[in-house]
């Protein structure tokens, strides 16, 4: 085996902002093989570097960006950058996964990961050009929106660069500010506020070294095989490439007025249907190496915006009762330009409006602002006020559960979050409990991208009707009989996708997340591709174990943040919770969680791992932190007095 | 009058309206020729930005009266009838880069070994064409390829307005596309059911 790592870039770049220094460290082969890259590598680094109980907005926090083992290669859709940190929104692991050009260009410059530590005394940005790393003054860039930021850095460094950075929301420490890549791709969970707290505005990169592969011929043949699958698919051509995730408006039942109900395809109000958004489309675009192009470019209320996805339409449209297409688009664009997560923004506004309508939130709390369903102009204004923490926006900027905490105990009861992250509420009977279980077990809090959508292969079924059968015959448990098993395997699939740097498909399918799964299910295809890229003899078992190892390490990280068995709850409206039906649902949910923990090799009573589980997964290094230890109960991140935040 | 017909010379044609800017052609080209995935070593370059709906691939046009071949002081560039490509004879090439300077498309470069990089149409089976997901690059006899592009252009040209440097299409086209997509989804549902149970 060659000494030099092939496939991977081979170098980790540590940016110490306190000392204004960039330090290069080799990526160790053992770590690379065990954690693959991307999300796995970030988890490993965070576990090593983040001390339990720190304030996420203090200089002690660590920000990791990693591009994945296969990033920047000719395998399609390997364009994802994984951003991980201790989340200022939730106080547990906070990670987001973004597209654009950044992951590929960082890899082409020779890096697998950038780790940012400390805090700069003045605004800075990092310029990377292959081996050259400079920490530069960013006082002129501070205050710019993400659109302006990227344009300014292109003016300075040329237009073949990629940029990750923050907008005004990150600078103002909005707790759900995102890491923004190339203007509009977002890595959420409050990672943007961590950039802001470190006085770091952006990282810009040009990479001209490329990726060296162990077996380029085999790799290229596999890449073409993978590509052909997507090129030939009718669903992709006629739906996915045509309307992107607007498909979800018909398939995914968006919540209406703070989850009062979920809208079926025939209930979608005019203004929120795919053809309504098509009226404002001026073109389409996509991430690096993507053959699909799920993203639209639109013009709304006089400005050009990018990628109006299902999530933004559901969170800023349907769930606020807003049906004016242009306003939904404009709010989406403002969230991108200011650098905030659309889902948490929308859900925080929806929660506020719901509480206001119920009288739990008063005019005194809102500083006189009246909150009404469908009042697009007020919501649009509040998006801006939130980004700059102006007036009532300062409270909204704390984000969903933290916002409710500021209001009252009563308000907290209406938070449908798990571990501080919001994703609506569902009955435990819906899809045999797949939704409720996967929201409870997701390592960043209730969320749909850590396994949920893969467990019940809804979109696979539409894209390739033959595929579910193949998945079920090859190791994916059938959620109709074994939802716990289906969720566990799907969680591994997502961990693998995020670690090799592959897009999980904005419509969430197996063939996107797991290359060649349609031909070599479930993990054989990834093993082949990884072997051709790196030269390491990966087996399907190695890949599966890596997925499990990465997932369990995230659970360990959260244990140190005080996550216990009681935090695997089922969010339900209080009116339902205190009924027989509600109690029955909670009981059923708890049984599923117990079963889940048992199968993961954890103690179902404490949600701590058994020593042999850590040994089996090669996570012994975590034993002394975890086994026999106890941490203070998780209560969310430490919140600052509202007047301590930068406000504009 | 002599009979005039469309040429049968093989061409690599570009349909700019189809290119989405995914860069797969660049990555395939470099992987095929160098075994390294590096867009800077590719013989095709796509000018675009992540947010831009307008993407322009640039590649050797294999000009009929090729400036590169004309200026080469050692006659190292010859035309290959079979594939339609101008090829560089590495044994003759002295690496003066005169060809790169005169190329009106900037389609000639130099690799790390100092050898001149120019599209050779992969010996008549171009990889960029094979990987292009949207048929933005088409290779074949001119009499087959060019009318295809002409027809596509004619459909599109009617709706193009240049504003803020963004291609603005008439909304009818995108709306129709969305309606078709919805219709197709309902058709799929007839087969697989609307919702999983």
Match domain A430-626 to its CATH number in 1.10.599.10, 3.20.20.70, 3.30.56.10, 3.40.640.10. Answer: 1.10.599.10
Buried b (16+ CB within 10 A) or exposed e, A106-122: bbbbbbbbbbbbbbbee
pLDDT at B194: 82
| Chain A residue numbers touching B26 (CB-CB < 8 A) | none
- For B186, the 3-state DSSP assignment is helix
Residue of chain A with shortest Cα separation from B163: A282
Q: Does the beta-carbon distance from A286 to B27 stay under 8 Å?
A: no
Residue of chain A with shortest Cα separation from B42: A210
Q: Does the beta-carbon distance from A183 to B38 stay under 8 Å?
A: no
Mean pLDDT of the residues in chain B: 88
Mean pLDDT of the residues in chain A: 97
Residue of chain B with shortest Cα separation from A146: B51
Please state the length of chain A: 648
- From the candidates A211, A212, A233, A239, which should be mutated to test the interface with B, based on the most B CB atoms within 10 A? A239
CATH number for region B10-157: 3.30.70.20
Taking 80 as the threshold, does the pLDDT of residue B169 lie above it? no
Residue A304 has φ and ψ, to the nearest 5°, of: -90, 130
CB-based contact A134:A126 (threshold 8 Å): yes
Q: Does the beta-carbon distance from B181 to A431 stay under 8 Å?
A: no
Residue B79: cis peptide before it, omega within 30 degrees of 0 = no
- For A65, the 3-state DSSP assignment is strand
Mean pLDDT of A621-626: 96
Centroid of chain to Cα B145 = 12
CB nearest B192 (choices: A223, A287, A462):
A462
CA distance B196 to chain A (A): 6
The tens digit of pLDDT for each residue in A69-100 reads 999 999 999 999 999 999 999 999 999 999 99
Residue of chain A with shortest Cα separation from B40: A208
CA distance B120 to chain A (A): 19
The residues with which A95 forms a beta bridge, in sequence order, are A84
CATH number for region A233-414: 1.10.569.10
The tens digit of pLDDT for each residue in A167-191 reads 999 999 999 999 999 999 999 999 9
CATH 1.10.599.10 placement within chain A: 430-626
Beta strand pairing status for A185-187 and A179-181? antiparallel
Residue of chain A with shortest Cα separation from B24: A289
Q: Does the beta-carbon distance from B38 to A208 stay under 8 Å?
A: yes
| Chain B residue numbers touching A185 (CB-CB < 8 A) | 50
| SS3 readout for B47-68 | ECCCCCCCCEEEECCCCCCCHH
The secondary structure of residue A581, as a DSSP letter, is: H
pLDDT at B160: 46
The tens digit of pLDDT for each residue in A544-593 reads 999 999 999 999 999 999 999 999 999 999 999 999 999 999 999 999 99
CA distance B63 to chain A (A): 27
- From the candidates B16, B17, B18, B22, which should be mutated to test the interface with A, based on the most A CB atoms within 10 A? B22
The secondary structure of residue A177, as a DSSP letter, is: B
Q: Where are the beta strands (DSSP E) in A403-500?
A: 417-418, 421-422
CB-based contact A72:A223 (threshold 8 Å): no
Residue carrying structure tokens 């909005």: A174
What's the rounded Cα separation, in Å, for the pair B192 and B196? Answer: 9
What's the rounded Cα separation, in Å, for the pair A550 and A37? Answer: 10
Taking 60 as the threshold, does the pLDDT of residue B167 lie above it? no
Taking 60 as the threshold, does the pLDDT of residue A243 lie above it? yes
pLDDT at A512: 97
Q: Does the beta-carbon distance from B171 to A280 stay under 8 Å?
A: yes
The secondary structure of residue A91, as a DSSP letter, is: S
| Chain A residue numbers touching B134 (CB-CB < 8 A) | 291
End-to-end alpha-carbon separation of chain B, Å? 72
- For A36, the 3-state DSSP assignment is coil
CB atoms < 10 A from the CB of A572, how many? Answer: 21
CB-based contact A156:A23 (threshold 8 Å): no
pLDDT at B148: 86
Q: Could you tell me the two tokens for B30?
A: 């470099």
pLDDT tier, B197 (very low <50, low <70, confident <90, very high otherwise)? low
The residues with which B19 forms a beta bridge, in sequence order, are none
pLDDT tier, A134 (very low <50, low <70, confident <90, very high otherwise)? very high
Taking 70 as the threshold, does the pLDDT of residue B103 lie above it? yes
Residue carrying structure tokens 């040329």: A158
Annotated domain spans of chain B: 10-157, 161-192
Distances (CA, A) of A429 to A480, A570, B149, B168: 11, 12, 54, 47
Give A516: exposed, middle or buried? Use CB within 10 Å, 0-12, 13-18, 19+: buried
The residues with which B138 forms a beta bridge, in sequence order, are B13
Centroid of chain to Cα A299 = 26
Q: Does the beta-carbon distance from B180 to A242 stay under 8 Å?
A: yes
pLDDT tier, B111 (very low <50, low <70, confident <90, very high otherwise)? confident
Residue B187 has φ and ψ, to the nearest 5°, of: -65, -40
Mean pLDDT of B186-191: 94
pLDDT tier, B165 (very low <50, low <70, confident <90, very high otherwise)? very low
CB nearest A250 (choices: B30, B31, B182):
B182
Mean pLDDT of A614-640: 97
Q: Where are the beta strands (DSSP E) in B20-179?
A: 36-37, 44-47, 56-59, 77-80, 85-88, 109-110, 116-117, 137-141, 161-163, 166-168
pLDDT at B170: 59
> Is the model more confident about A497 or about B64?
A497
Residue of chain B with shortest Cα separation from A306: B51
The tens digit of pLDDT for each residue in A104-113 reads 999 999 999 9
Helices A342-358 & A376-387 angle (0-180, nearest 10):
120
What's the rounded Cα separation, in Å, for the pair A231 and A224? Answer: 10
Mean pLDDT of A513-523: 98
Helix, strand, coil tally for chain A in percent (to 5)? 45, 15, 40
Q: Does the beta-carbon distance from A100 to B185 stay under 8 Å?
A: no
CB nearest B53 (choices: A74, A278, A285):
A285
Mean pLDDT of A145-152: 98
CATH 1.10.569.10 placement within chain A: 233-414
Distances (CA, A) of A497 to A9, A35, A82, B86: 18, 12, 11, 42
CA distance A511 to chain B (A): 16
Q: Could you tell me the two tokens for B57?
A: 């691939």
Q: Could you tell me the two tokens for A138?
A: 């960013």
pLDDT at B1: 53
pLDDT at B114: 85
pLDDT at A622: 97
Q: Does the beta-carbon distance from A286 to B38 stay under 8 Å?
A: no
Beta strand pairing status for A111-117 and A11-16? parallel
Q: Above pLDDT 70, what percent of chain A?
A: 100
Candidate from A323-332, A410-419, A471-480, B138-147 with smallest mean pLDDT: B138-147
CA distance B70 to chain A (A): 31
| Chain B residue numbers touching A279 (CB-CB < 8 A) | 171, 174-175
CB nearest B31 (choices: A74, A185, A273):
A74
Taking 90 as the threshold, does the pLDDT of residue B155 lie above it? no
Residue carrying structure tokens 């989804």: B185
Candidate from A300-314, A442-456, B54-68, B162-176 with smallest mean pLDDT: B162-176
CB nearest A213 (choices: B22, B37, B130):
B37
Taking 90 as the threshold, does the pLDDT of residue B195 lie above it? no
| Chain B residue numbers touching A243 (CB-CB < 8 A) | 177-178, 181-182
Q: Does the beta-carbon distance from B196 to A212 stay under 8 Å?
A: no
pLDDT tier, A208 (very low <50, low <70, confident <90, very high otherwise)? very high
List, in order, residues 6 or more apart from B188 with CB less than 8 Å away.
A235, A462, A465
Q: Could you tell me the two tokens for A336?
A: 């991108």
Residue of chain B with shortest Cα separation from A209: B38
Residue of chain B with shortest Cα separation from A303: B164
User: How big is the A-B interface in CB pairs under 8 Å?
Assistant: 172
pLDDT at B162: 42
The secondary structure of residue A291, as a DSSP letter, is: S
Residue carrying structure tokens 């659309």: A342
Taking 80 as the threshold, does the pLDDT of residue A3 lie above it? no
- What's the pTM value of the predicted model, to 2 decimals? 0.96
Q: Could you tell me the two tokens for A112?
A: 């697998």
Q: Does the beta-carbon distance from A211 to B28 stay under 8 Å?
A: no
pLDDT at B4: 72
């Amino acid at each position: 085996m060659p000494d030099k790592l092939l496939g991977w870039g081979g170098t980790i770049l540590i940016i110490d902002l306190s000392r204004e220094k960039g330090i290069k460290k080799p990526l160790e082969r053992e770590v690379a093989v065990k954690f693959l890259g991307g999300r796995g590598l970030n988890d490993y680094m965070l576990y090593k570097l983040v001390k339990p109980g720190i304030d996420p907005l203090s200089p002690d926090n660590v920000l990791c960006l990693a591009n994945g083992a296969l990033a920047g290669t000719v395998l399609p859709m390997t364009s994802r950058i994984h951003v991980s940190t201790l989340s200022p929104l939730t106080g547990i692991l906070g990670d987001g996964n973004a597209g654009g050009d950044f992951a590929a260009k960082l890899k082409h410059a020779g890096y697998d990961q950038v780790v940012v530590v400390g805090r700069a005394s003045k605004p800075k940005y990092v310029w990377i050009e292959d081996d050259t790393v400079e920490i530069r003054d960013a006082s002129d860039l501070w205050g710019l929106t993400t659109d302006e930021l990227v344009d300014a850095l292109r003016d300075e460094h040329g237009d073949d660069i990629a940029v990750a950075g923050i907008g005004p929301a990150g600078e103002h420490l909005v707790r759900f500010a995102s890491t923004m890549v190339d203007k509009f791709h977002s890595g959420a969970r409050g990672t943007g506020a961590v950039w802001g707290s470190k006085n770091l505005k952006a990282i810009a990169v040009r990479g001209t070294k490329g990726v060296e592969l162990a077996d380029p011929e085999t790799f290229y043949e596999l890449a073409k095989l993978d590509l052909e699958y997507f090129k030939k698919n009718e669903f992709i051509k006629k739906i996915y490439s045509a309307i992107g995730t607007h498909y979800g408006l018909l398939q995914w039942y968006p919540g209406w007025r703070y989850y009062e109900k979920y809208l079926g395809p025939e209930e979608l109000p005019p203004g929120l249907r795919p053809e309504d958004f098509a009226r404002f489309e001026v073109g389409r675009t996509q991430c690096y190496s993507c053959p699909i192009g799920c993203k639209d470019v639109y013009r709304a209320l006089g400005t050009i915006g990018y990628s109006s996805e299902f999530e933004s339409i559901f969170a800023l449209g349907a769930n606020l009762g807003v049906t004016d297409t242009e306003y939904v688009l404009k709010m989406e664009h403002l969230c991108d330009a200011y650098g905030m997560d659309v889902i948490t923004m929308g859900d925080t506004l929806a929660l506020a409006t719901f509480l206001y309508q119920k009288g739990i939130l008063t005019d005194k709390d809102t500083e006189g602002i009246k909150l009404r369903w469908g009042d697009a102009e007020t919501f649009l204004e509040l998006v801006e006020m939130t980004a700059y923490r102006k007036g009532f926006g300062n409270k909204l900027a704390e984000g969903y559960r933290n916002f409710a905490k500021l209001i009252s105990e009563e308000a907290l009861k209406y938070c449908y979050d798990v571990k501080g992250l919001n994703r609506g509420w569902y009955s435990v009977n819906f899809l045999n409990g797949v939704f409720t279980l996967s929201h409870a077990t997701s390592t960043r809090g209730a969320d749909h991208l850590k396994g949920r959508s893969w467990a019940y292969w809804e979109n696979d079924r539409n894209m390739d009707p033959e595929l579910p059968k193949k998945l079920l015959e090859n190791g994916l448990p059938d959620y109709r009989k074994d939802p716990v098993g289906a969720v566990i395997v799907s969680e591994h699939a997502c961990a693998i996708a995020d670690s090799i740097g592959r897009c999980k498909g904005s419509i969430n399918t197996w063939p996107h997340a797991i290359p060649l799964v349609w031909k070599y299910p479930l993990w054989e295809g990834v093993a082949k591709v990884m072997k051709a890229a790196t030269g390491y003899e990966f087996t399907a078992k190695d890949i599966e174990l890596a997925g499990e190892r990465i997932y369990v390490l995230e659970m360990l990280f959260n244990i140190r943040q005080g996550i216990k068995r009681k935090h695997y709850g089922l969010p339900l409206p209080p009116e339902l919770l205190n009924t027989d039906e509600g109690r029955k649902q909670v009981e059923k949910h708890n049984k599923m969680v117990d079963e889940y923990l048992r199968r993961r090799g954890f103690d179902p009573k404490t949600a701590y791992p058994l020593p042999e589980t850590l040994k089996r997964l090669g996570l012994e290094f975590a034993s002394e932190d975890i086994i026999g230890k106890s941490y203070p109960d998780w209560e969310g991140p430490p919140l600052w007095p509202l007047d301590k935040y930068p406000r504009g | 009058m002599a009979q005039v017909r469309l040429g049968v010379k093989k061409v690599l044609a570009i349909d700019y309206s189809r290119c989405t800017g995914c860069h797969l052609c660049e990555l395939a080209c470099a992987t095929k020729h160098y075994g390294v995935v590096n867009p800077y070593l590719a013989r095709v370059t796509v000018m675009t930005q992540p947010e831009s709906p307008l993407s322009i691939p640039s590649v050797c046009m294999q000009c009929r009266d090729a400036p590169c071949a004309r200026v080469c002081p050692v006659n190292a560039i010859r035309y290959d009838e079979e594939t339609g490509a101008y090829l560089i004879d590495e044994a003759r090439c002295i690496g003066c880069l005169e060809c790169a300077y005169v190329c009106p498309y900037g389609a000639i470069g130099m690799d790390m070994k100092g050898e001149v990089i120019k599209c050779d149409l992969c010996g008549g089976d171009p990889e960029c064409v094979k990987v292009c997901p949207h048929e933005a690059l088409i290779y074949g006899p001119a009499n087959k390829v060019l009318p295809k592009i002409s027809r596509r252009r004619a459909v599109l040209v009617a709706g193009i307005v240049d504003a803020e440097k963004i291609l603005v299409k008439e909304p009818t086209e995108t709306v129709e596309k969305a309606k078709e997509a919805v219709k197709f989804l309902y058709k799929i549902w007839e087969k697989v059911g609307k919702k999983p149970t």
